[in-house]
Structure 1
């Protein structure tokens, strides 16, 4: 199975976010997942790449033409170069079986909301897990409550993603998804 991990390429973040990416990636790679990601060698994205490569998993890096210079650091990845962030989001979504949303900035937030809407509006059966350690996405969830209260979205939007708050919840959720997948084979 291919897992799309959304995360940050910012090098100015706290170490706890790097560790989060490392732990999540090591666990998923050990479970046999292949990585789909935004194609940066820096920060959380770079750690994800390293953990999957270390465990001899396939890695698919998607990036825009503007960032081609970063690809030299991803020599073991299968590279996909696109023109726009819209193309990037679409291709990563299509290639993935599961989406994990780690801490990130505006690009990560854009991807999260795009993928929730894609699953909702096109009735896709693709799990989306938002990793909310230390309440990182608290304000996003509060904003969704405002949208719901003001009738811009229905309450069922929450059914298109799941929230985990720590490593144990995350691992339990992945193990459950793997068992469900094995039953369906």
Structure 2
């Protein structure tokens, strides 16, 4: 696994645990020499993970749409910054660059990105691991909803079972790496 796209909030949340765990994920990625790909912003969790990876000498690739670039929300100290025309193009580029995805706490944009990657795995467009960092049980209610969706017949249990979920940042990254290794059987 060479690159992981991290989806997360352009805000930091109300608890320090969100920021602290996001930084721990970043540190684990840099230790493994995994390139961090993200939404290209300089604020919230997005800006924090980019800053931490840069501080540690990691490679960071950002993808930002023109509208956010023009609002001066782009991070200009990245290894690479791709400016794209709109949000759909951003999601496509984030998907294209990734070997897998880590989803940190975030808002509606983060949920949109998670849903898109799950759907792309489901229809067979890709087969990339997706992991959710469950800091402070942030994704507990979402998992309850997805389990209900599956039990009601609107989503396969297999799709749900493919998600990697953990509340410990380093363990989550380790599970992502293990998931990407060829089966040894």
TM-score (structure 2 length as normaliser): 0.88
Instruction: Measure the CA separation in 1 of the matches of 2:134 and 2:155.
Output: 21
Instruction: Measure the CA separation in 2 of the matches of 1:40 and 1:139.
Output: 27
Which 5+ residue runs of structure 1 have no aligned equivalent? Answer: none
Which 5+ residue runs of structure 2 have no aligned equivalent? Answer: none
Q: Matched residue of 1:70: which SS?
A: coil
Aligned pair count reads: 181
CA distance change for structure 1 residues 159 and 18 in 2, over 3 Å: closer, same or farther? same
- 8 Å Cα contact 1:116/1:160 also seen in 2: no
Q: Matched residue of 2:77: which SS?
A: coil
Per mean C-alpha deviation after superposition, the further-off stretch among 141-150 and 58-67 is 141-150
1:70 aligned residue: 73
| Counterpart mapping for 1:102-181 below 5 A | 102-122=104-124, 124-167=126-169, 169-174=171-176, 176-177=178-179, 180=181
Instruction: Measure the CA separation in 2 of the matches of 1:146 and 1:81.
Output: 38
1:33 aligned residue: 34
For the pair 1:50 / 2:38, whether they are aligned, the reply is no
More contact order relative to length (CA 8 Å, sep ≥ 6): 2
TM-score (structure 1 length as normaliser): 0.88
Instruction: Measure the CA separation in 2 of the matches of 1:168 and 1:12.
Output: 21
2:23 aligned residue: 22
**Higher helix residue share:** 1
Shift of 1:177: 4.4
Shift of 1:63: 0.8
Shift of 1:19: 0.6
Per mean C-alpha deviation after superposition, the further-off stretch among 82-91 and 15-24 is 82-91
Alignment RMSD: 2.1
